[in-house]
Structure 1
């Protein structure tokens, strides 16, 4: 005996999902940058130094002087000698006028006028101390610097941006199905 049978065969529905990812590109171009540095202006001013050496007195001390100075010196010495001679004669005349006073003015004046005084010995060709005069004026230096600021030019560029949106496609790969079969429903006996 065969029993009646019901056979069912089913298939579930299948969904198909197709996805494309989004893409994004960002590019940042470099900024344009320009820098200029103008040169600084430097001004330097100097006044030269001065050195003056006056050795006139040293030459005069060594008796090596200019002829005009020598004439002036000897003229002064002559005038001084004339004054000293006049003073000596006045003094001796006064002494002779008072001859009645004690003393012997004639013999003392004869000795005084008859012999030269002792000359002083010494080195005459060495100049005196600090005879050379030195005057020094140092140079002066002034520096003026004018600093120029740098010239900076910067230009920023916008970024290049590309975006491709993603996509999702949903569809049915297989539809659901149900098959029902019957066997041995009607017996044949």
Structure 2
């Protein structure tokens, strides 16, 4: 006996998904930068040093005197001689005024006036003080003027390129059902 059989054959459907990822490109341009440093300025002001040597007293000690010094000394000596002469005459007048005291004042005055007075002086200033020197040192003033650097920078904004992703859905295998007897 033959029993009829029924056979069912089914195929499942398959979905196929294809996707393309999104792409993002970022491009950053170079930054342009320039730097300039101006030169600093320097000024120097200097006062020179000064040395003064005065050897007038040393020359005077050697009796090598200038005309002005000789005239000044002659004036001083003349004034001194006049004052001594006045004092001597006053003293002699006093002696003559009191002649009754005895002695011979006229003879004593003559002997005293006959003696020569005078001496040679080599100077009274010690040699280490005869030359006078003075020194003023030089002064230096340095001034700087610095200048700030000049910096210029130009930057480019970034550029973006975006490509969207895609998703494709399709049937890789369609479903089917086969029934056979």
Q: Which TM-score band applies after superposition, normalised by the shorter structure?
A: 0.7 to 0.9
With 62-71 and 101-110 compared, the bigger mean Cα shift is at: 101-110
| Superposition CA RMSD, Å | 3.1
With 123-132 and 28-37 compared, the bigger mean Cα shift is at: 123-132
- Alpha-carbon distance in 1 for matches of 2:70, 2:127: 18
- Alpha-carbon distance in 2 for matches of 1:158, 1:96: 128
Structure 1, unmatched stretches of 5+, are 183-189
- 1:84 paired with 2:84, answer yes
What's the CA shift string for 1:75-120, capped at 9, x where partnerless? 5324423442343244224313321025553565466445567979
Q: Once the 2 structures are TM-superposed, how far is the Cα of residue 180 of structure 1 from its aligned partner?
A: 0.9
What's 1:58 paired with? 58
Q: Once the 2 structures are TM-superposed, how far is the Cα of residue 171 of structure 1 from its aligned partner?
A: 0.5
- The secondary structure found in structure 1 opposite 2:100 is coil
Higher fraction of helix: 2
What's 2:49 paired with? 49
Structure 2, unmatched stretches of 5+, are none
The change in CA–CA distance for 1:117 and 1:73 in structure 2 (over 3 A counts) is: closer
What's 1:176 paired with? 175
Kindly indicate whether the alpha-carbon contact (under 8 Å) linking 1:30 and 1:156 is maintained by their aligned counterparts in 2. yes
**Matched residue pairs, number?**
181
Q: Which one has a bigger Cα radius of gyration?
A: 1
The change in CA–CA distance for 1:74 and 1:171 in structure 2 (over 3 A counts) is: same
